[in-house]
Amino acid sequence: MSATREQPRSRPRRFFTVADGGLLLFRVRDVPVLLAPSWWVGSLVVIVLYTPMVTRLLPDASPATSWTLSAAFAVLLGLSVLLHELGHVVVALRMGIPVRRLRLFLLGGLSEVARTPREPRQEGLVAAAGPVVSVLLALFCGLLLLAVPSGTAAWLLVAECAVANLAVGLFNLLPGLPLDGGRMLRAGVWALSGIRARGTKAAVAGGGVVAAALLLWAIFGMASGSEDRWLRLGVCAVTAWFVAMGAGAELSAENSRSWPDGLALSDLVRPVLQLPAESPVSDALAASAGRGVVLVRADGVAAGLLDENDAQRLAATSPQAPAELAAEPIRAETVLLASEPGEEIAERVRETAAWQFLVVDDEGRPAGVLRREDLRVALARRPR
């Protein structure tokens, strides 16, 4: 289950630390690998529901052995998901796609890429990497079973590992978002149609079909009295919920990324006004009505964009203070090129923590200021 950068800090190395999103286990090329609290809940559910099956498979096993093997299965399932997600991370990084983090949670995992793949090929290769890793591990464990005496605890552990990896690999090939199969479906439709949004809609519909099929399979197991009916019900209910929520999130993200036909960036940007950085903040605030204000120092270097909220607070107490004190720094990620495609602009705005962006022409001259709220309103109101 898949859907990404954090700089290393100079501090003593510890095996486990608490980070935003869960327990930090380790890093892969500066990508944090986190264990969310919900993973423990999911593993406990797997242990409770899987123990009766171990007892049936190994009738001579003691209760302690059954519980231990069930716990081992939960851990192996987590490791299988981890290796699966690492496949995504490695391929994404090799293709130049930054990854924010890898997170294990409940019964799955998520590799969070920092930007959308630019072409269908990238989307398809990153999505396929996880299932390929899982299937290869399942084949390796299957071959290892031939060398382990059957009917023993060791044999069951190897079989558990084979089943866990095969289940993770095959399940993620189902053609619905947010699963890898859904991303591969999106990549295929995107490549054929040339429109990413069309691929997303097809894969979201596939996600709905997958969620419905999981619930029907669980209901069938309960109705037929299947031996694994409770395990099936628990896993299917949680997974169907995950797929449905993930598909909805993917559709919402696609809508916020899409650029309506006929909408020009020039329709959204506000005129830009350049003022000396030492201008009184009250004057700069008055001049900012309906405009974006670039504050420029005496040496010609831009001090930043006037932050109206900070300027209002400063003007309330010190109206003659330099406007530079209320400037928001201009960073590389907050500068937009007027000639960029609309979808790339929408994605940049969505992924950058800033409320206004400086738009420049091909010569690097300020052409206007785009505010996040203006773009959000335009995308919400214009038909796609």
Please count the CA atoms within 13 angstroms of the CA of 164 that sit on its side-chain side: 27
- Give the torsion through C-alpha atoms of 33, 214, 219, 221, to 10 deg: -80
Q: Is 228 annotated as a binding residue?
A: no
The answer to whether 88 is annotated as binding is yes
- Does the annotation place 84 within a ligand binding site? yes
**Is residue 265 exposed (0-12), middle (13-18) or buried (19+ Cβ within 10 Å)?**
buried
Which positions ≥6 away from 54 have C-beta within 8 Å?
61, 65, 66, 69, 70, 73, 156
Task: Tell me which of 85, 112, 123, 328 is the catalytic residue.
Answer: 85
3-state secondary structure of 101: strand
Contacts of 75 (CB under 8 A, 6+ apart): 43
Cβ partners under 8 Å of residue 261, min gap 6: 384
Identify whether 85 is a catalytic site residue.
yes
DSSP three-state, residue 59:
coil
Where is the binding site for Zn(2+), in residues?
Answer: 84, 88, 180
Q: Mind telling me the catalytic residues?
A: 85
Where is the binding site, in residues?
Answer: 84, 88, 180
